[in-house]
């Protein structure tokens, strides 16, 4: 039975992973944020008008020659070191030969059997019902190559290649340095394969961000991912045929695509069919992969060492210099902060998943206790970020300002409700926390005399609730506290209010 | 080792050269002779001989990460057979990459 | 009035510097000569009259304002059409680049211009430098000034013929498997391939990147040396360019002394396939060297017999990749784009129409040699042969200072004679290829006319890599001695055009 789209049913996930062992692999391309391109001095800034950042070399004009960018080599070595790789003592660039209009020379300068970095690993953690589990992802290679230009397909319905009448090419991106990171196949992830895939790319992205080598924005294409999936029947010694899925443009897509491929391949195998080894395309809207155009013959790239470039031979001194310059890497940093802040692994995961770790660390550095910093960033600020459809780190409030709010609460000058109002004010651009407090005259009222009337009014207005409290249902006092808070526009010191209410009603709480 | 017409057709496809029927035969004959002659490089027992890809023993020729001048878009597009909106216009592409 | 076109480059430079003659007069004299003879010779594809006169005027005004002029200021030059020159048509002898005007200068052109050299125009060549006869040009062959029915050699046949027929005192060619030296030999002029990496390849349209090298063509060894010094030197735009001072070649050319120099005659570059008259003149030149005080011995370079097959694997492989960019998408010819065809089809039609048969042959040969399953047996193995040839040179140079051989096994063959027999054509490169594979500097020097046909014979002199000055030293010594023997420059025996 062959796999014709729509004919073979998916096998539901739990059944799929019960009967088959997934093996995953990931190929990630990271666009480096160097100032100039890989082999020429053209600028690399994103968003320039088409064909305005091009020279004879990146346009591949006859007679042009490449000269390698030292900073790109440094960045690649740093990535390799962060992934625990061995750094080659001697290696070369190779030409990958194939014809495509976005590649001006019709070959890409890359590396073939002599990559700059090899044989590393990265531990990634995923959250499970039984607590966090760590998986070691082997790194096969990290190598350096040049990016291609960008093609727009005109005339088709979807802007994709199929059905297009012609295409338009912009070579601004051609020649920008690209680092390719390929994992070894990762068996043994079982049902967690999609999560592991996602966690790996997330961690890789964090590492690149920490190293400062790339913007790693998937939506801008500075981080691209292809996911490989194969299935083997449980207990089998041989792995199955693998598919490579492209167009996986977000972390979420990685997880969904791996999930889908497992179901799809399991469905084929369960029905007695064979999985075709092919490249597939992920569709975010429909949540499926479809086969790429089948090629009559496998691509023969006819790799050979590029004669226009000379070998790279990073001395061990050079490598050690780079190693010494590495900043604290994400795993080490998370471990340090977990210990310093006495967090559980789950707590740390929550911070990382919310993208709030940097903000919290900065808030703590500005003087706030870790627990308070976490509370605000994961609670109120995360809520604001969701509403604004943005990252917490992109909110218009600085960690120092959050720390100030925390300080004001600690000093008793604000309560939680008032603090929320101050934060809203900062987000709205009304100024600093102190300016907002002054402008709106926000201050906690805890003076008994001031509160006394409000307390009496609340009791008088709610006789049934008051009766409940007198008869021992202390919890009911909350409603009375609420009434006082409302009456005082949130400025009352809630704790003191509760004490006064209980005292008035003659109970101890 | 004979190079067949089919192989020549395959090579022409890989190299994106549209050859006519007669050309395929003609080239097949010629290439066969040439490959027969050049194949004698195999006579040299060379298992432990390292290959030479560069006659100059240079390594680590690198440039600083500094931006330099570009061509103007007019210069870039001047020789283009077809352009649109500041981009190179090319016929519809079949293969995805 | 002296015929300015008969002067050497150094004499022209001197006479301009002294004010005796203006650079414009010199340029005009050569443009007139081109107009007179080039219809028969067809050395030039494009004569840049305006550009040449403007460059000449610039030299004259620099001289007038008292500026010190360079050693070749105002000297006219014929430039092989494989170098980019901004705004000037650059075809590489191919239809696929017909009409293309590059938006940038090659480093060689930039250096020539900075030195005040007057580029007269772009010369004919075998398409993309593939060939030994200039018959592979899409624009018709160039003819040998010694006999218009004969080939001028290739692929730098146009530049060589221009110099040989006094249309320019200087020429620039490129040499990948002998394409400067072999044309020089069959047209009776001096041609030099510098050590690989000695001259920048930026702007030199690549044929075989690890072998291509630009070099001078001239009517005297000193002229070649002066030109060599203008164009050579490190270029940050070329990763393979040597970062070292230019060897003192002009000084060596003036020294011209071979006493005590050890000369090795390469045993393997002789025998079957070599025209008797060629070997005769070669041996006479070797005897002359001995008379001049050199120690002459025979040396063996046993792997040289594999040089030709290795070259015809390496060069096509690299060229199959270098020429992939010519696809009709960004510049040059585009064929078949009628709105219904795909990019793949248009590329294939464009390349079929734009490339000649030799180029197609080599592209397919190279594609074959690199393809999976064949790489180790062909390209991989050829790279190992390259190592063995380098070792042969290294070993030989332990006991001698230079190696000599005939430049090419025969004199100029007739136009059309070998064009349908690729293997016969390839044999012209038998002696020149080893120096390309190992990167060594090598010169071809006219050493007489073959008695059978009265056509020029070239003596090849090879030096270790980076020791370019040695070929000039030996070449100049032999040149002076031969001049003494003949009583006049060899070229004066060529028929008038």
Could you report the per-residue pLDDT of C161-216, keeping only the tens digit for each? Answer: 999 999 999 999 999 999 999 999 999 999 999 999 999 999 999 999 999 999 99
Q: What percent of chain C has pLDDT over 90?
A: 96
Q: Quick one: pLDDT band at residue B1, thresholds 50, 70, 90? A: low
d(CA B71, CA B5): 44
Query: Is the pLDDT assigned to residue A295 strictly greater than 80?
Result: no
User: Helix H segments across C73-220?
Assistant: 107-114, 157-164, 181-187
What pLDDT does A509 receive? Answer: 60
Query: Is the pLDDT assigned to residue A251 strictly greater than 50?
Result: yes
Pick from C384, C389, C439 the residue to mutate for testing the B interface (most B CBs within 10 Å): C384
How far does A103 lie from chain C, in Å, by closest CA?
9
What pLDDT does A504 receive? Answer: 87
What pLDDT does A413 receive? Answer: 85
Pick from A51, A105, A304 the residue to mutate for testing the C interface (most C CBs within 10 Å): A304
Burial class from Cβ neighbours inside 10 Å (0-12, 13-18, 19+) for residue B57 reads exposed
d(CA C203, CA C156): 16
Cβ distance B31 to C364 under 8 Å?
Answer: yes
- Catalytic residue list contains C179: yes
d(CA C239, CA B59): 9
Inter-chain residue contact A167 with B70, CB threshold 8 Å: no
Token reading at A256: 């969904």
d(CA C289, CA B38): 35
CB atoms within 10 A of CB A2: 9
Query: Is the pLDDT assigned to residue C481 strictly greater than 90?
Result: yes
Could you report the per-residue pLDDT of C359-376, keeping only the tens digit for each? Answer: 999 999 999 999 988 898
| For the ranges A214-223, B44-53, C454-463, the one whose mean pLDDT is highest | C454-463
What pLDDT does A416 receive? Answer: 86
d(CA B13, CA B6): 11
Sequence length of chain A is 509
Question: Beta strand C442-449 with C190-193: parallel, antiparallel or unpaired?
Answer: antiparallel
How far does C330 lie from chain B, in Å, by closest CA?
5
| Beta-bridge mates of residue A124 | A135
Query: Is the pLDDT assigned to residue C39 strictly greater than 60?
Result: yes
User: Helix H segments across A326-476?
Assistant: 330-340, 345-353, 357-365, 370-378, 380-387, 399-410, 416-427, 433-440, 448-461, 463-470
- Segment A299-319 mean pLDDT: 96
Inter-chain residue contact A41 with B87, CB threshold 8 Å: no
Q: Which of B3, B34, B90 sits opposite C422 (nearest CB)?
A: B34
Nearest chain B residue to A58, by CA: B70
User: What are the strands, taking DSSP E only, across A129-192?
Assistant: 131-146, 150-154, 166-170, 177-183
Name B54's Cβ contacts closer than 8 Å, sequence gap at least 6.
A307, A310, A311, C210, C240
d(CA A175, CA A109): 9
* Interface contact A63, partner C, CB < 8 A: yes
What pLDDT does A355 receive? Answer: 83
d(CA C113, CA C107): 10
Tell me which of A218 and A146 has the higher pLDDT. A146
The whole-angstrom distance between residue A136's C-alpha and the CA centroid of its chain comes to 19
Could you report the per-residue pLDDT of A156-204, keeping only the tens digit for each? Answer: 777 777 778 999 999 999 999 999 999 999 999 999 999 999 999 999 9
Q: Mean pLDDT of all residues in chain A?
A: 91
The whole-angstrom distance between residue A320's C-alpha and the CA centroid of its chain comes to 29
What pLDDT does A495 receive? Answer: 85
d(CA C192, CA C214): 9
3-state class (DSSP) for residue C362: helix
3-state class (DSSP) for residue A153: strand
Q: Which of A68, A166, A302 sits opposite B90 (nearest CB)?
A: A166
d(CA A66, CA A49): 24
Tell me which of A130 and C246 has the higher pLDDT. C246
| Phi, then psi, of C163 in degrees rounded to 5 | -70, -40
d(CA A431, CA A425): 7
Chain A residue numbers with beta carbons less than 8 Å from the beta carbon of C329 are: 101, 169
Q: How many CA atoms lie within 13 A of C416 on its CB side?
A: 2
Inter-chain residue contact A70 with B53, CB threshold 8 Å: no
- Catalytic residue list contains C239: no
pTM above 0.80, yes or no: yes
Query: Is the pLDDT assigned to residue C420 strictly greater than 80?
Result: yes
- Catalytic residue list contains C193: no
Token reading at C237: 């735009």
Tell me which of C21 and A391 has the higher pLDDT. C21
Nearest chain B residue to A43, by CA: B67
Q: Which of residues 2-41 of B touch C (CB under 8 A)?
A: 3, 7-8, 11-19, 23, 27, 30-31, 33-35, 37-41
For tokens 């080792």, what's the residue? B1
d(CA C68, CA B45): 58
- In order of A61, A92, A137, C353, C428, the CA distances from C317 in angstroms are 19, 17, 38, 21, 20
Q: Which of A196-210, A444-458, C69-83, C451-465 has the lowest mean pLDDT?
A: A444-458
What pLDDT does A4 receive? Answer: 47
Q: Which of A63, A67, A169 sits opposite C204 (nearest CB)?
A: A63
Burial class from Cβ neighbours inside 10 Å (0-12, 13-18, 19+) for residue C484 reads exposed
Cβ distance A180 to A27 under 8 Å?
Answer: yes
- Segment B67-72 mean pLDDT: 97
- In order of A33, A408, C76, C189, C288, the CA distances from C481 in angstroms are 63, 101, 28, 16, 8
* Interface contact A461, partner B, CB < 8 A: no
3-state class (DSSP) for residue C358: helix
- Per DSSP, C484 falls in state H
Query: Is the pLDDT assigned to residue C21 strictly greater than 70?
Result: yes
Cβ distance C217 to C171 under 8 Å?
Answer: yes
User: Which domains does chain A carry?
Assistant: 24-227+300-316 (no CATH), 331-440 (no CATH), 448-504 (1.10.10)
**Which of A147, A40, A177 is closest to B68 using CA atoms?**
A40
**Which helix (H) or strand (E) covers residue A243, if one does?**
strand A242-248
Q: Quick one: pLDDT band at residue A1, thresholds 50, 70, 90? A: very low
Q: What is the DSSP string of A457-506?
A: HHHHH-HHHHHHHHTT-GGGHHHHHHHHHHHTTT-B-HHHHHHHHHHHTT
Cβ distance A50 to A40 under 8 Å?
Answer: no
- Per DSSP, A105 falls in state T
Inter-chain residue contact B7 with C368, CB threshold 8 Å: yes
3-state class (DSSP) for residue C100: coil
Question: Beta strand C170-174 with C76-80: parallel, antiparallel or unpaired?
Answer: parallel
3-state class (DSSP) for residue C285: helix
Q: What percent of chain C has pLDDT over 70?
A: 100
User: Which domains does chain B carry?
Assistant: 5-43 (1.10.20)
Query: Is the pLDDT assigned to residue A446 strictly greater than 90?
Result: no
Size of interface B-C (CB pairs under 8 A): 182
What pLDDT does A353 receive? Answer: 79
Size of interface A-B (CB pairs under 8 A): 136
C4-303+387-493 is a CATH 3.30.360.10 domain: no
What pLDDT does A3 receive? Answer: 44
CB atoms within 10 A of CB C140: 12
d(CA C403, CA C268): 12
Pick from C202, C368, C371 the residue to mutate for testing the B interface (most B CBs within 10 Å): C368
Query: Is the pLDDT assigned to residue C444 strictly greater than 60?
Result: yes
Inter-chain residue contact C102 with A62, CB threshold 8 Å: yes
**What does the buried/exposed string (b/e) look like for A269-288 if buried means 16 or more CB atoms within 10 Å of the residue's CB?**
bbeebebeebbbbbeeeeeb
- Segment C33-57 mean pLDDT: 98
What pLDDT does A294 receive? Answer: 60
Does the N-terminal peptide bond of residue A299 adopt cis geometry, omega within 30 degrees of 0?
no
Query: Is the pLDDT assigned to residue A39 strictly greater than 80?
Result: yes
Inter-chain residue contact B96 with A293, CB threshold 8 Å: yes
Q: Mean pLDDT of all residues in chain C?
A: 96
Could you report the per-residue pLDDT of A253-289, keeping only the tens digit for each? Answer: 999 999 999 999 999 999 988 998 999 999 999 999 9
Could you report the per-residue pLDDT of A60-102, keeping only the tens digit for each? Answer: 999 999 999 999 999 999 999 999 999 999 999 999 999 999 9
3-state class (DSSP) for residue A84: coil
């Amino acid at each position: 039975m062959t796999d014709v789209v729509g004919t073979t049913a998916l096998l539901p996930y739990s059944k799929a992973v019960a009967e088959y062992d997934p093996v995953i692999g990931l190929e990630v391309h990271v666009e480096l944020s160097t100032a100039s391109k890989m082999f020429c001095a053209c600028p690399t800034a994103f968003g320039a008008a088409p064909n305005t950042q091009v020279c004879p070399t990146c346009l591949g004009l006859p007679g042009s020659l490449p000269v390698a960018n030292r900073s790109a080599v440094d960045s690649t070595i740093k990535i390799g070191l962060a992934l625990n790789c061995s750094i080659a003592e001697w290696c070369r660039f190779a030409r990958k030969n194939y014809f495509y209009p976005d590649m001006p020379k019709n070959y890409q300068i890359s590396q073939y059997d002599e990559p700059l970095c090899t044989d590393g690993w990265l531990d990634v953690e995923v959250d499970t019902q039984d607590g966090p589990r760590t998986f070691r992802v082997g790194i096969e290679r990290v190598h350096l190559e040049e990016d291609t230009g960008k093609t727009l397909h005109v005339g088709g319905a979807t802007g994709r290649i199929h059905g297009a009448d012609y295409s338009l090419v912009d070579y601004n991106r051609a020649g920008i340095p690209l680092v390719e990171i390929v994992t070894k196949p990762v068996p043994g992830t079982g049902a967690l394969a999609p999560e592991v895939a996602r966690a790996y790319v997330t961690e890789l992205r964090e590492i690149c961000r920490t190293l400062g080598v790339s913007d790693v924005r998937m939506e801008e294409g500075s981080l691209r991912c292809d996911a490989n999936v194969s299935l083997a029947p449980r207990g089998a010694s041989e792995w199955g045929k693998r598919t490579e899925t492209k167009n996986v443009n977000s972390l979420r897509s990685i997880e969904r695509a791996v999930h889908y491929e497992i179901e799809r391949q399991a469905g084929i195998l369960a029905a007695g069919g064979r999985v075709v080894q092919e490249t597939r395309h992920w569709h975010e809207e429909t949540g499926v992969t479809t086969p790429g155009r089948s090629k009559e013959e496998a691509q023969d790239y006819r790799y050979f060492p590029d004669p226009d470039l000379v070998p790279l031979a990073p001395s061990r001194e050079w490598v050690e210099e780079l190693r010494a310059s590495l900043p604290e890497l994400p795993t080490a940093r998370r471990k340090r902060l977990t210990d310093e802040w006495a967090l559980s692994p789950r707590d740390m995961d929550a911070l990382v998943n919310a993208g709030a770790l940097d903000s919290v660390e900065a808030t703590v550095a500005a003087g706030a206790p870790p627990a308070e910093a976490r509370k605000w960033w994961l609670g109120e600020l995360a809520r604001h970020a969701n509403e604004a459809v943005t990252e917490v780190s992109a909110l218009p409030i600085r960690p120092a300002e959050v720390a100030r709010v925390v300080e004001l609460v600690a000093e008793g000058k604000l309560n939680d409700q008032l603090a929320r109002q101050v934060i809203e004010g900062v987000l709205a651009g009304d100024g600093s926390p102190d300016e907002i407090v002054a402008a709106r005259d926000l201050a906690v009222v805890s003076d008994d005399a001031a509160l006394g009337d409000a307390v009496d009014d609340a009791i008088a207005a709610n006789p049934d609730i008051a009766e409940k409290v007198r008869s021992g249902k202390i919890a009911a006092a909350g409603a009375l506290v609420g009434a006082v808070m409302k009456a005082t526009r949130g400025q009352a010191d809630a704790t003191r209010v509760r004490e006064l209410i209980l005292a008035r009603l003659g109970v101890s709480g | 080792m004979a190079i067949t017409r089919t192989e020549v057709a395959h090579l022409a496809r890989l190299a994106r050269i549209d050859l006519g029927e007669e050309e395929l035969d003609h080239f097949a004959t010629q290439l066969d002779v040439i490959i027969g002659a050049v194949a004698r490089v195999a006579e040299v027992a060379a298992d432990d001989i390292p290959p030479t890809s560069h006659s100059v023993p240079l390594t680590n020729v690198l440039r600083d990460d500094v931006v330099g001048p570009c061509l103007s878009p007019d210069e870039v597009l001047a020789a283009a057979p077809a352009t649109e909106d500041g981009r190179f216009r090319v016929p519809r592409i079949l293969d995805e990459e | 009035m002296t015929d300015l076109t008969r002067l050497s480059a150094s004499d022209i430079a001197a006479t301009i510097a002294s004010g005796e003659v203006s650079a414009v007069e010199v340029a005009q004299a050569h443009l007139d000569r081109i107009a007179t003879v080039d219809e028969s010779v067809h050395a030039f594809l494009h004569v840049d009259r305006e550009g040449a006169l403007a460059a000449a005027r610039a030299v004259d005004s620099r001289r007038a304002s008292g500026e010190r002029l360079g050693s070749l200021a105002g000297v006219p030059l014929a430039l092989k059409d494989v170098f980019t020159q901004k705004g000037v048509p650059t075809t590489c002898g191919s239809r696929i680049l017909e009409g293309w005007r590059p938006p940038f200068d090659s480093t060689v052109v930039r250096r020539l211009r900075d030195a005040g050299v007057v580029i007269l125009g772009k010369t004919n060549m075998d398409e993309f430098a593939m060939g030994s006869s200039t018959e592979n040009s899409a624009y018709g062959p160039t003819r040998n000034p010694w006999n218009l029915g004969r080939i001028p050699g290739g692929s730098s046949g146009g530049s060589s013929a221009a110099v040989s027929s006094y249309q320019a005192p200087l020429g620039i060619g490129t040499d990948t498997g002998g394409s400067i030296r072999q044309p020089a030999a069959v047209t009776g002029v001096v041609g030099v391939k510098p050590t690989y990496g000695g001259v920048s390849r930026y702007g030199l349209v690549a044929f075989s990147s690890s072998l291509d090298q630009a070099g001078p063509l001239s009517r005297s060894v000193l002229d070649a040396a002066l030109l060599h010094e203008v164009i050579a030197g490190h270029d940050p735009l070329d990763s393979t360019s040597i970062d070292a001072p230019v060897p003192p070649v002009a000084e060596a050319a003036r020294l011209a002394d071979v006493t005590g120099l050890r000369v090795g005659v390469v045993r393997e570059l002789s025998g079957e396939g070599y025209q008797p008259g060629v070997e005769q003149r070669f041996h006479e030149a070797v005897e002359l060297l001995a008379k001049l005080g050199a120690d002459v011995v025979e040396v063996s370079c046993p792997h040289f017999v594999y040089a030709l097959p290795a070259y015809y694997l390496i060069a096509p492989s690299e060229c199959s990749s270098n020429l992939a960019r010519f696809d009709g998408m960004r510049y040059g010819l585009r064929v078949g784009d009628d709105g219904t065809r795909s990019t793949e089809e248009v590329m294939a039609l464009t390349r079929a129409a734009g490339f000649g048969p030799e180029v197609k042959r080599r592209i397919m040969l190279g594609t074959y040699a690199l393809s999976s399953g064949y790489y180790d047996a062909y390209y991989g193995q050829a790279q190992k042969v390259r190592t063995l040839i380098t070792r042969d040179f290294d070993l030989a140079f332990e006991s001698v200072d230079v190696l000599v051989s005939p430049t090419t096994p025969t004199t100029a063959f007739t136009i059309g004679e070998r064009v349908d027999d690729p293997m016969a054509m390839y044999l012209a490169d038998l002696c020149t290829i080893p120096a390309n594979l190992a990167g060594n500097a090598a010169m071809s020097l006219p050493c007489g006319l073959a008695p059978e046909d009265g056509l020029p014979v070239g003596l090849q002199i090879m030096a270790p890599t980076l020791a370019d000055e040695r070929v000039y030293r030996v070449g100049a010594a032999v040149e002076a001695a031969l001049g003494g023997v003949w009583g006049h420059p060899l070229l004066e025996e060529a028929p008038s055009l």
